Amino acid sequence: MNALQPVTRFSLKDAKALIKDLGRPNPTIYWTDFLLTMVTAHILLAAEIRAYDWLKLDGAAFWCVRGAMFGAAALLYMRGVMFIHELVHLRPDSFRGFRVAWNLLCGIPCLVPSFMYYPHVDHHRRKSYGTDHDGEYIELSHKHPMYIVLFILAAFIVPPLAFFRFLILTPIAWCWPALREKVELHASTLVVDIFYLRGDFGPTARRQMLLQEAACFGWCLFLVARGPISEGTLLGEFWLHAYALSVTLILINNVRTLGAHRWISEGQELTFEEQMLDSLNYPHRPWITELWGPIGVRYHALHHLFPSVPYHNLGKAHRRLRAGLPPDSIYHACARVSLFGAIVELWQRAARASSASKQLKGTLPNQRAA
């Protein structure tokens, strides 16, 4: 962990004093942002799907306009989905109407109901961050670079797996307790580590899971009726659009996730300073970073520092910390300009680790022979 050893100590008390008035979420901002995002996304996607009916262009111009609409819709759906991150960090007894609205308008149609993100709290606990108890962490800096490639390519298989989970596994698990336990442990969490086992979040969470599962099952039945049954084909235009949109969202999120951390942990508990240094902020070029890192997720180091600060205050909080903390504060070391640059750094670390591992293995036989 030498790469994460802090140069100076970090004063949480001083940092907290700088942003102590920024912890209250604004319901008006949440509702306005979310509803405008989803309405615009739905309109753009519907217009793109029906482009042949109204778009009076030919050749390359037609496909450029249609591609632009699809891309804009995908980015907006990405923004809508990322509100799931806020739901975890809001007080459980607050924003109840917003939680229901998010699940109905976004979470369930996208097959990412909010119960699947409850374990995100483990990603913020000091004793679980970066360990086997953290489902959102893989030691990517210490693995072969091909793990990075496979992580990105997983986007192409996740949509059918999600559909299978809610359409097939859900009703079977309701009737088969043994399978129910396995589904909850292995297939009920949005994770990075596929070996993560979901914990028990209590009876209230269990009831919410069952309700949201039922809604997702009903939505899947509707999609089957809307697609294969009504169109008479398994690969109709509706399904191709749904799959393309799903893959696009997951690809964007997976690439974003690669740049959220340095992924330096080797499975042990980290100190507070090490956890912050293992996370990254992207405060520059907001007109770009806000597209791939919406709803505050581009301030990931700041979010790990103060998880309760709502997304609409993270930019202001960062500017205060940058101005108020001393120049040698380790907080400043968490900033990056380019997501691509951070991923290149990750690839280089993984390549060095892989090369060092091969060299070590190559020396062991010689040592034994000697």
pLDDT per residue as tens digits for the range 208-246: 999 999 999 999 999 888 766 656 666 677 788 889 999
- Residues 6 or more apart whose CB falls under 8 angstroms from that of 204 comprise none
Give residue for tokens 């059918």: 160
Domain membership flag for residue 61: yes
pLDDT for residue 228: 64
**pLDDT score recorded for residue 1:** 44
Q: What is the pLDDT of residue 233?
A: 64
Distance, in Å, from the CA atom of 198 to the CA atom of 275, rounded to the nearest integer, reads: 22
pLDDT digits over 159-195, tens only?
A: 999 999 999 999 999 999 889 999 999 999 999 998 9
Q: Determine the pLDDT at residue 230.
A: 58
Task: Answer yes or no: is 86 within a domain.
Answer: yes
If one counts the domains in the chain, the total is: 1
Whether 222 contacts 230, CB under 8 Å: no
Please report whether residue 309 resides in a domain.
Answer: no
Whether 52 maps to a domain, the answer reads: yes
Positions in the chain whose pLDDT score sits under 70: 1-9, 227-235, 360-370
Instruction: Please indicate, yes or no, if residue 78 is contained in any of the structural domains.
Output: yes
Q: Residue 369: its pLDDT value, please?
A: 43
Contacts of 112 (CB under 8 A, 6+ apart): 81, 84, 106, 162, 190
Amino acid in position 113: P
Residue 335 lies in a domain: no
Q: What is the DSSP string of 341-366?
A: HHHHHHHHHHHHHHHHHHHHHHHHHH
Decide if 59 is inside a domain: yes
Domain that holds residue 68: 26-111
Residue 290 maps to a domain: no
